[in-house]
A and B are shown apart, each in its own frame.
Chain A
Amino acid sequence: MMILEADRLAITFGGVRAIDGVSISIASGQVFSIIGPNGSGKTTLLNLVSGIYMPLDGSIRLAGETVTGLAPDQLARRGLSRTFQNLQIFSHMSVLKNVMVGRHRHERTGILADLLHWPSVARQNAATREAARMALARVGLADAAERPAGSLDYGALKRLEIARALASEPTVLLLDEPAAGCNPVETQEIDRVIRSIVKEGITVVLVEHDMRLVMNISDRVHVLARGRTLAEGTPEQVRSNVEVIEAYLGVHGSREAAHAFD
Chain B
Amino acid sequence: MAELLQFVFSGLTVGAIYALVALGFTLIYNASDIINFAQGEFVMLGGMTTVFMALAGVPLPLAALIAIIVTTGIGLALHRFAIEPARGASPVALIMITIGASVFLRGVAQIVFDKRFHSLPPLFGADSIQFGGAAILPQSLVLLAGATVIVILLWLFVERTLLGKAVIATAANRLAARLIGIDTRRIVDFSFAVSAAIGAIAGILVTPITLTSYDVGTLLALKGFAAAMLGGIGSPLGAVVGGILIGMIEALSAGYLSSSYKDAVAFLIILVVLVAMPQGLFGRVKVERV
A43 and B290 CA atoms in complex are apart in Å by 9
A84 close to chain B: CB less than 8 A = yes
CB neighbours (8 Å) of A84 from chain B are: 290
User: Is A23 located at the chain interface by the 8 A CB criterion?
Assistant: no
B287 — which chain A residues lie within 8 A by C-beta? 13-14
- B83 to chain A: closest CB distance in Å? 25
B289 and chain A: residue at smallest CB distance: A13
CB-defined interface of A36-52 with B at 8 Å, one 1/0 digit per residue? 00000001000100001
Q: In this complex, what residue of B is CB-closest to A88?
A: B290
How many Å lie between the Cα of A84 and that of B289 in the bound state?
13
- A14 surroundings in chain B (CB, below 8 A): 287
Q: Tell me, in angstroms, the Cα distance from A84 to B287 when the chains sit together.
A: 19
Closest to B284 in A: A14
Report the count of interface residues on A (CB-CB < 8 A): 7
**What 1/0 mask marks residues of chain B from 266 to 290 whose CB sits below 8 Å from any chain A CB?**
0000000000000000000001011
Residue of A nearest to B287 (CB): A13
A13 to B287, CA, bound (A): 8
Residues of B near A86 (CB, < 8 A) are 290
Q: How far is the CA of A111 from the CA of B290 in the complex (A)?
A: 31
Q: Which residues of B contact A47 (CB under 8 A)?
A: 290
Nearest CB of chain A from residue B203's CB, rounded to whole Å: 41
- CB under 8 Å from chain B, chain A span 207-240: none
Instruction: Kindly list chain B residues whose C-beta atoms are within 8 Å of the C-beta of A52.
Output: 290
The CA-CA distance from A86 to B287 in the complex, in Å, is 18
Contact pattern, B 189-211, Cβ under 8 Å of A = 1, otherwise 0: 00000000000000000000000
Q: How far is the CB of B23 from chain A (nearest CB, A)?
A: 28
Contacts of B290 in A (CB 8 A): 43, 47, 52, 84, 86
A14 to B288, CA, bound (A): 12
| In the complex, per-residue mask of A43-67: 1 if CB is within 8 Å of any chain B CB, else 0 | 1000100001000000000000000
Closest to A52 in B: B290
Distance of A13 Cα from B285 Cα, bound (Å): 12
Once bound together, how far apart are the Cα atoms of A218 and B19, in whole Å?
61
Shortest distance in angstroms between A19's beta carbon and chain B's nearest beta carbon? 13
Q: Which of B236-290 contact A (CB under 8 A)?
A: 287, 289-290
How distant is A93 from chain B, measured CB to nearest CB, in Å? 18
| A52 to B289 alpha-carbon distance, docked (Å) | 9
Interface positions, chain A 50-109, Cβ under 8 Å from B, are 52, 84, 86
- The docked-state distance in angstroms from the alpha carbon of A47 to that of B289 is 10
Smallest distance from the beta carbon of B283 to chain A beta carbons, Å?
Answer: 15
Measured CA separation A137–B62 after assembly (Å): 75
Residue of B nearest to A14 (CB): B287
Query: What is the bound-complex CA distance between A9 and B289, given in angstroms?
Result: 18
CB contacts (< 8 Å) of A43 on chain B: these are 290
Produce 1/0 per residue, A1-20, CB < 8 A to B. Answer: 00000000000011000000
Residues of A within 8 A of B289 (CB): 13
CA of A159 to CA of B290 in the docked complex: distance in angstroms?
Answer: 20
Smallest CB gap from A176: residue in B: B290
B269 to chain A minimum Cβ distance, whole angstroms, is 29
| Interface flags, B14-50, vs A, CB<8A=1, else 0 | 0000000000000000000000000000000000000
Chain A, range 234-252, C-beta contacts under 8 Å to B: none
Q: How far is the CA of A52 from the CA of B287 in the complex (A)?
A: 12
Bound CA span A47–B290, Å: 8
Query: Chain B's nearest CB lies how many Å from the CB of A54?
Result: 10
Closest chain A residue to B288, Cβ basis: A52
Q: Please name the residue on chain B nearest to A50 by beta carbon.
A: B290
- Give min CB distance, A177 to chain B, whole Å: 13
A81 to chain B, nearest CB (A): 15
Of all chain B residues, which has the CB nearest A86? B290
Q: Which residue of B lies closest to A85 (CB)?
A: B290
A154 to chain B, nearest CB (A): 19
Minimum CB–CB distance from A55 to chain B (whole Å) comes to: 14
Could you give, for residues 111-128 of chain A, a 1 whenever the CB lies within 8 Å of some chain B CB and a 0 otherwise?
Answer: 000000000000000000
CA gap between A52 and B288 in the complex, in Å: 10
Q: What are 8 of the A-B contact pairs (CB < 8 Å)?
A: A13-B287, A13-B289, A14-B287, A43-B290, A47-B290, A52-B290, A84-B290, A86-B290
Residues of B within 8 A of A (CB): 287, 289-290
Known: A13-B289, A14-B287, A52-B290. 5 other contacts (CB 8 A): A13-B287, A43-B290, A47-B290, A84-B290, A86-B290
Which 8 interchain pairs have the tightest Cβ spacing? A52-B290, A47-B290, A13-B287, A84-B290, A13-B289, A86-B290, A14-B287, A43-B290
